[in-house]
Amino acid sequence: MTDDTRSDISLRVNDATYQLAVDNRRTLLDALRDDLSLTGTKKGCDHGQCGACTVLLDGDRVVSCLTLAVVADGADVTTIEGLAGGGELRPIQEAFIRLDGFQCGFCTPGQICSAVGMLAEHAAGWPSAVTRDDSPERTPELSEEEVRERMSGNLCRCGAYPSIVRAILETSVREAVSK
C-alpha cells in the first residue's frame, strides 16, 4: 500500500523481522514504540539532544529520534529489550541495578544501549576528544574521563552519572566479550 506519504520497509529488530508500511515522516523511534510496541526506547527530546532514544543500528549507537524509519529499511536494530538474551541480564544491566545507576529510569535504556555501543567503539580503537594518544595503533585506556566524555550525549537529570560511570567501568571487559 505504498502511496506518496507511506513506504513499505523491512526492519530486523532484536533478531525478528518486521514488514511495515510507515508514514514517511515516522521516525525510527516512533516506529519502534508505536508500530512494534517496543516502548523501552524513550522519547526525551525528539531533537537528538538527550540520548534517551539511543539504539544500536547495525551495531552502532544512533539517536532513533533523528533517524527516519525509512532510512533504517533493511537494517538490524537492537533495542534495550533485545540486550538481555533469554531473560538473562547482561553484566552492565546487573551492574546498573547493583550500583544504582538510575533513579527515575527514563534515560536508562538509552544510557545502557549507548554504553554497549560506546564500549564497542572503544574496543575498535576509536579515540575521543579527551584521548591523549591519538595513534591509531593503540586503544586508549578506558579511564573515568574517557567514559564521561564518550557518554556525554546521554543526559540524566536525576544525576546518576557517578554510578553509571562505575557500572560501565566495572563491566567493560565482560561487556566487550559478550558483545
Partner 1 sequence: MNANGITAAVGEPRPRVEGRLKVTGSAAYVADVPMPDLAHGWMVTATVSRGRIRDIDATDALAMPGVLGVLDHRNARRLNPDAAHHFGPDRGLPMLQDDAVPYAGRPIALVVARTPEQARAAASALRVTYDAEPHDTEFSMNHPAARPASTLFGPEADTGDLEAELAVSTVVVDEVYRTPEENHSAMEPHVATAWWEDGHLYALDSNQGPFSISQVMAMLFFIDRDRVHIRAEHVGGGFGAKTICGAQIILAAMAAEHFRRPVRVALTRRQVFLAIGSRPPTEQRVRIGAGADGRLRAVHHHAAFALSPLAEYIEWCTEQARTLYAAPAIRTELSAVPLDRLPPCTMRGPGATPGSFAFESAVDEVAERLRIDPLRLRLLNQPAASPVSGRPWSTRRLITCLEEGARRFGWAQRDPRPRLRREGNLLVGTGVAAAAFVAGVFPASATIAAETDGTFSVRVGASDIGTGARTALIAVAADALGVSTERIRLHIGDSDLGPNPGAGGSRGTTSCAFAVTEAAKALREKLDDPARPVTVTVDTTPLINWRPAEERNTYSAVFAEVTVDPATGEVRVRRLLGMFAVGRVINPLLARSQLIGGMIGGLSMALHEESVRDPITGRLVTADFAGYHISAHADVPNVEADFVADYEPQDPSGFNGLGEIGNAGVAAAIANAVWHATGTRHRTLPISLGRVVETAAPRDRQEAISAV
Among 132, 138, 157, 179, binds partner 1 (CB under 8 A): 157
Point out which span in 68-76, 81-89, 119-127, 170-178 binds partner 1 (CB under 8 A): 81-89
Among 85, 98, 138, 179, binds partner 1 (CB under 8 A): 98
Using rule CB under 8 A, residue 127 touches partner 1: no
Question: For cell 533485545, what's the residue?
Answer: 82
Which among 20, 33, 151 has a CA at the least distance from the CA of 96? 151
CA distances from 90 to 51, 60, 94, 110, 168 (A): 20, 18, 6, 15, 12
Among 20, 43, 76, 176, binds partner 1 (CB under 8 A): 43
As to burial, measured by CB atoms within 10 angstroms (0-12 exposed, 13-18 middle, 19+ buried), residue 174 is: middle
Q: What are the grid coordinates assigned to 142, written together?
A: 578506558
Using rule CB under 8 A, residue 171 touches partner 1: no
Using rule CB under 8 A, residue 164 touches partner 1: yes
Q: How many residues bind partner 1 (CB under 8 A)?
A: 60
For partner 1, give the closer residue by CB, 91 or 136: 91
Using rule CB under 8 A, residue 21 touches partner 1: no
Using rule CB under 8 A, residue 103 touches partner 1: yes
DSSP H helices in the chain: 28-30, 80-83, 91-99, 108-123, 144-150, 161-178
Tell me which residues touch partner 1 (CB under 8 A). 5, 23, 25-26, 30, 33-34, 37-47, 49-50, 52, 79-81, 83-84, 89, 93, 96-98, 100, 102-109, 112, 144, 147-149, 151-165
